[in-house]
Amino acid sequence: MVFLNGRFLPLEDATVPVLDRGFIFGDAIYEFIPVYARRPFRLEEHFTRLERSLDAVRIRNPYTRDQWRAHLGELIARQEYAHQGLYLQVTRGVAKRDHAFPAPDVSPTVFMMANPLVNPPAALVEQGVAAVTAEDFRWLRCDIKTTSLIANCLLRQHAADAGATETILLRDGVLTEASASNVFLVRAGTVLAPHKSNFILPGITYDVVMELAHGAALPVEVRDISEAELRAAEEIWLTSSSKEVLAVCTLDGVPVGSGRPGPVFRRMHGLYQDFKRALMAPTTVSA
């Protein structure tokens, strides 16, 4: 079952008009929310990012937070699996094809679906993954979570063509992120993270990793990271809602550090799993 404009219906029955601006222009924003044991992960933070993206592209938010919670809760409850990847999309709505925005009374289109959440298998966490690099040729507002993702698709395909998991991006010799992940480095035991900017999507998992690093008293630096530093890193991590925290062990065919997931990654991965288990623990109600 999926959600479309206030209705729950089978996926095969969910359709939108061809003049929907999400179809014509990619004029839409989206969110992906992990759901563990039927509990949405960092829901308020996802709402904040959703609202920020809608405001940035001037799409009217169709629901209050309470309404969003109710619709998401019902969608989650209708699925047969407990761990879910919940995707939601808001387009500007249906209007005649014109680059300028339609009248304000055009209703946004809202679509939501939930699939089984697929996290990296234990073997992949243990051995790490391969990544390649490419120049970041995307637009200048990568901080908006828009559905206009053709550049990201091309960059992700660049990795797929090379038999790699991700493409790590450089803009004018400085690390930004990956095609569908944020990126962290470890050098001399210090966790390095690119600072948030218009070139980087503000990842919810990025924030969790930063919080866990500070809580564990790991040294952290947030700053510009050069290509030379990336290639000399002892460890490279990918983070995202589905990947959680994943080690990169080869970059452009060259081993990263020892060529195996490093000790700081292993600690962070353990911290993240503990954090996730605490979220899934049954809640108790006091008498």
Q: CA 276 → CA 34, 67, 157, distances in Å? A: 11, 26, 30
Q: How confident is the model at residue 283 (pLDDT cuts 50, 70, 90)?
A: low
| Domain limits, the chain | 2-116, 122-276
CATH class belonging to 122-276: alpha beta
pTM: 0.95
Those residues whose C-beta lies under 8 Å from the C-beta of residue 136, and which sit 6 or more positions away, are 169, 170, 171, 176, 199
Res 282: pLDDT? 78
To the nearest whole percent, how much of the chain has pLDDT over 70? 98
Q: CA torsion angle for 92, 22, 87, 67 (degrees, to 10)?
A: 20
Question: Which class is domain 2-116?
Answer: alpha beta
| pLDDT band at residue 157 using 50, 70 and 90 as cut-offs | very high
Whether 284 shows a pLDDT value over 60: the answer reads no
Q: Which amino acid is at 206?
A: Y
- pLDDT tens digit string along 130-155? 999 999 999 999 999 999 999 999 99
Average of per-residue pLDDT across 182-198: 97
Q: What is the mean pLDDT of residues 74-95?
A: 98
pLDDT digits (tens, 9 = 90+) for 34-62: 999 999 999 999 999 999 999 999 999 99
Verify whether residue 145 is a known catalytic residue: yes
Catalytic residue among 96, 145, 196, 276: 145
